């Protein structure tokens, strides 16, 4: 990023030497992202993060289509659910929350049953941000495309862990801070042939789909981070998933009443989410932190809320159990040693036995 915060400081929309240097960097970043995602350079927009990208994808594609039906699920990120609610309240869009099973999986047959002639878009998370369940994205895309319905995949959690190219999605979103780029950077890939109503209006930057002076340094950063994450993805996923599986097995064996949530095997390599019935999730988090283990109760976007996770409730868990959720995430670069796993397991055993 450094050169584009100092020497190459120009506005990429300006037609002079300094601006053209910035524009060249922006074009190069766009090309790098397109290469990883398997899309055209003209399909790539740079945004302020996952929330903006999801808002722009859902509102832009639904409003651009002129149709009045949106299909999503009840386990999506708040930015997806709130965008759907906005369309329902202010634009009369009929929103269907397709049913997921107890593992958080949306089956192709279930999706097929929800599609209509007036369906504008299907918006589904490639991998869930709380329980880590990974959807069969290519199968869901195929079902929707069979009815000529475009698909938006929220790939914020998937980037760096799962393949992003070859999914067939019409729109895909990525957040920079999930792959080592600065917070406040994001990507929206949306196929140029689709009608699209911009979220931001003004000078028509980003091919008329997102007005505003582009963050050149941020675009350069997220493009490079995405390339690095993709290059390391296979090895990292295999190594970290092995550590996660060992952690899950030990917690289920040693912590009384512990239940793993989400799909038992088709899940993000770095995610293990549990409920500990009979405890208080927030108290368990505090006890874990006292022992040097930093975890969360669900989505960071809902941190501080006393409400039970909407994701777990949609899976059919009782309200009291859903409030005991604790999510452990295993980062890229985690040592291959089992020592951190053993320390985290011991902290969980003690923490669950300590609350109140």
DSSP 8: S
Buried b (16+ CB within 10 A) or exposed e, 297-325: bbbeebeeeeebbbbbbbbebeeebbbbb
Residues serving a catalytic function are 301
State which H helix or E strand residue 73 sits in. Answer: strand 69-73
Q: Which two tokens stand for residue 58?
A: 């859902």
Tokens of 229: 């994450």
CA distances (Å), origin 69, targets 31, 117, 118, 235, 263: 33, 9, 6, 40, 29
Greatest extent of the chain over all pairs of C-alpha atoms, in Å: 67
- Residue 142: name the closest of 134, 153, 128 by CA: 153
- Residues with Cβ within 8 Å of 249's Cβ and at least 6 positions away in sequence, in order, are none
Cα end-to-end distance, the chain, whole Å: 48
Distance separating alpha carbons of residues 179 and 29, to the nearest angstrom: 15
């Amino acid at each position: 990023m450094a050169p584009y915060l100092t020497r190459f400081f120009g506005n990429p929309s300006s037609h002079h030497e300094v601006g053209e240097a910035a524009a060249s960097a922006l074009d190069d970043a766009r090309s790098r992202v397109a290469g990883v995602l398997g899309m055209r350079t003209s399909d790539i927009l740079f945004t302020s993060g996952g929330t903006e990208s999801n808002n722009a994808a859902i509102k832009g594609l639904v409003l651009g289509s002129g149709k009045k039906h949106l299909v999503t699920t009840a386990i999506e990120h708040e930015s997806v659910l709130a965008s759907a609610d906005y369309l329902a309240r202010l634009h009369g869009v009929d929103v269907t929350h397709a049913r997921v099973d107890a593992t958080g999986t949306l089956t192709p047959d279930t999706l097929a049953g929800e599609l209509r002639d007036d369906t504008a878009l299907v918006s589904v998370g490639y991998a869930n941000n709380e329980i880590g369940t990974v959807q069969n994205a290519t199968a869901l895309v195929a079902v929707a495309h069979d009815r000529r319905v475009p698909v938006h995949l929220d790939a914020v959690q998937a980037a760096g862990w799962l393949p992003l190219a070859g999914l067939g999605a019409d729109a895909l979103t990525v957040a920079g801070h999930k792959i080592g780029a600065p917070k406040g950077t994001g990507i929206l890939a949306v196929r140029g042939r689709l009608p699209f109503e911009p979220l931001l209006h003004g000078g028509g930057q980003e091919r008329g789909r997102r007005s505003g002076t582009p963050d050149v340094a941020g675009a350069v950063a997220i493009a490079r981070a995405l390339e690095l994450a993709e290059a390391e993805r296979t090895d990292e996923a295999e190594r970290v998933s092995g550590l996660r599986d060992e952690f899950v097995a030990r917690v289920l064996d040693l912590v009384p009443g512990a239940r793993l949530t989400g799909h038992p095997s088709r899940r993000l390599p770095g995610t293990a989410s549990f409920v500990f019935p009979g405890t208080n999730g927030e108290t368990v988090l505090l006890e874990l932190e006292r022992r040097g283990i930093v975890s969360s109760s669900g989505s960071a976007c809902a941190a501080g809320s006393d409400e039970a996770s909407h994701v777990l409730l949609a899976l059919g868990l009782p309200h009291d159990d859903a409030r005991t959720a604790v999510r452990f995430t295993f980062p890229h670069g985690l040592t291959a040693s089992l020592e951190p796993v053993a320390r985290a397991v011991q902290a969980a055993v003690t923490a669950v036995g300590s609350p109140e």
